[in-house]
Amino acid sequence: MCPRQHSLVDLSKSPGAEHLRDVLDAYMVEHGMRATEQRRLIIDTFMAAEPHVSIDELLGQVRQKDARIGYATVYRTLKMLAECGIAHERHFDDGFARYELASTESHHDHLICTACGRIVEFEEPQIEDLQLAVADRYGFVVTHHRHELYGLCADCRPGETKASTDP
Amino acid sequence: MCPRQHSLVDLSKSPGAEHLRDVLDAYMVEHGMRATEQRRLIIDTFMAAEPHVSIDELLGQVRQKDARIGYATVYRTLKMLAECGIAHERHFDDGFARYELASTESHHDHLICTACGRIVEFEEPQIEDLQLAVADRYGFVVTHHRHELYGLCADCRPGETKASTDP
DNA sequence: ATACATGCAAACGTTTTGCACTTAG
DNA sequence: CTAAGTGCAAAACGTTTGCATGTAT
């Protein structure tokens, strides 16, 4: 192992992560999948990464440990994680897929700052309830949904400190 | 009841397709754009088409009248309509852009049947209010959003009668 | 007459896959 | 040993654009 430094935040040890590992192991055994060096590295890196990483971002982080890893391997590994329910694939308006660890908590949606790219998760049970009511009103049964609020976060909003007159 | 406002480009309160034509004309004049045969045909066809047409669908309909029309022309015309606020570009989960006339009153979101592709518009002011409340809670100012409910419509649901025990 | 528009085909950016080589079991 | 995984490069996919030709004004 590389005795580089002790990671400050080790999400792989947060509550729930162990269960995810179990789910993953079961899934891989069941599908005759092998635990390769690359997969281990990619999965570990993903679990320690900030939420909503893109494939490219993750690839960059992974390559700091092993520069030979290819895009396709990261791509396929993330697809696999999504397939077995450990990760969720998200498509915001920036054009590429992002992945987040499936949390044990309930469902959440997202606020996205169009200036700095910050992504904040929110939960609003009342909205969830209203969604079901709306669907019911139209005879729909909802299987999944997408709810994204785009705008400016507190740091990017004009008004904090005026003087925003550019030449 | 509604007096027809004249000449001013006031999109937000446009009552009908006729006004949209006026807005369009004004936009084209202002941008030195020409009223070509193709554009007329494409725009007329779009306005008569069902809501949420894709470029390919519209191209198909347009080619029934003039088989020489190219994809790029439809593409550019729809972009232009979106640019001047007459059409809205939507991206659902089927991978390609769809366009709808902006003629309708206030904002709406969508229910999409994942079986037959049916798209239903819904309006729910309470959800809109809650969105603003949520954004405010996180210090965000919302500029736009995306809210899509995916599921099965009444026609595609298993068990027209009841059948509520099916994962 | 000439700037704008068209239609083709090729460029794009991201995702997905075919394939020869490598490797875990 | 052999089925599964890797990395590369190329295909696929919808979207976007450069360019030679056509046309509305």
| pLDDT of the residue at B15 | 54
* Domain chopping of chain B, boundaries: 7-104, 106-167
Which residues partner with B147 through β-bridges?
A: A147
- For chain B, give the percent of residues with pLDDT over 70: 84
**CATH superfamily assigned to domain B106-167:** Ferric-uptake regulator, C-terminal dimerisarion domain (3.30.1490.190)
- Best of A92, A114, A140 to mutate (most B CBs within 10 Å, chain B): A140
Residue whose token pair is 């004049």: B29
Strand residue runs (E) in chain A: 53-54, 87-91, 97-101, 109-113, 119-122, 141-152
Among A139, A142, A149, select the one facing B154 at the smallest CB separation. A139
Identify the H or E element spanning B143: strand B141-152
Identify the H or E element spanning B37: helix B37-48
**Rounded to an integer, what distance in angstroms lies between the CA atom of residue A123 and that of residue A129?**
12
B123-138 tens-digit pLDDT: 999 999 999 999 999 9
pLDDT band at residue B17 using 50, 70 and 90 as cut-offs:
confident
In this model, does residue B67 exceed pLDDT 60?
Answer: yes
| pLDDT of the residue at A57 | 98
Contact pairs from chain A to chain B, CB under 8 Å:
109
Query: Measured between CA atoms, how close is A129 to chain B, in angstroms?
Result: 10
* pLDDT tens, residue order, chain A (167 aa): 433 333 334 444 455 677 899 999 999 999 999 999 999 999 999 999 999 999 999 999 999 999 999 999 999 999 999 999 999 999 999 999 999 999 766 789 999 999 999 999 999 999 999 999 999 999 999 999 999 999 999 999 987 554 444 44
Which residues partner with A98 through β-bridges?
A: A54, A90
**Rounded to an integer, what distance in angstroms lies between the CA atom of residue A77 and that of residue A41?**
10
The answer to whether strand C lies under 7 Å from the CB of residue B71 is yes
Task: Tell me what the pLDDT averaged over chain B comes to.
Answer: 88
Distances in Å between the alpha carbon of B53 and those of B49, B100, B113, B152? 7, 7, 15, 20
Among A126, A135, A152, select the one facing B140 at the smallest CB separation. A152
| pLDDT of the residue at B59 | 98
**Rounded to an integer, what distance in angstroms lies between the CA atom of residue B121 and that of residue A111?**
22
Nucleotides of D under 7 A from a protein CB: 3-9, 13-18, 23-25
pTM of the model: 0.86
Section B74-81 average pLDDT: 98
| pLDDT of the residue at A14 | 55
The CATH T-level fold of domain B7-104 is Arc Repressor Mutant, subunit A (1.10.10)
In this model, does residue B12 exceed pLDDT 90?
Answer: no
Which residues partner with B54 through β-bridges?
A: B98
Answer whether A107's CB lies under 8 Å from A123's CB. Answer: yes
| pLDDT of the residue at B163 | 44
| pLDDT of the residue at A130 | 98
Is A138 near chain B, with CB under 8 Å?
yes
| pLDDT of the residue at B103 | 73
**Pick from A24, A13, A94, A87: nearest CA to A56:** A94
Q: How far is the CA of B89 from the C1' of C18 (A)?
A: 35
* 3-class secondary structure, B147: strand
| pLDDT of the residue at A164 | 45
Which residues partner with B114 through β-bridges?
A: none
Q: Please list the alpha-helical segments (H only) found in A84-147.
A: 125-137
| pLDDT of the residue at A7 | 35
B47-55: which pairs have CB atoms within 8 A and are 24 or more residues apart? B47/B17, B47/B20, B47/B101, B51/B100, B51/B101, B51/B119, B51/B121, B52/B90, B52/B98, B52/B99, B52/B100, B52/B119, B53/B98, B53/B99, B53/B100, B54/B96, B54/B97, B54/B98, B54/B99, B55/B96, B55/B97, B55/B99
Section B28-56 average pLDDT: 97
In this model, does residue B43 exceed pLDDT 80?
Answer: yes
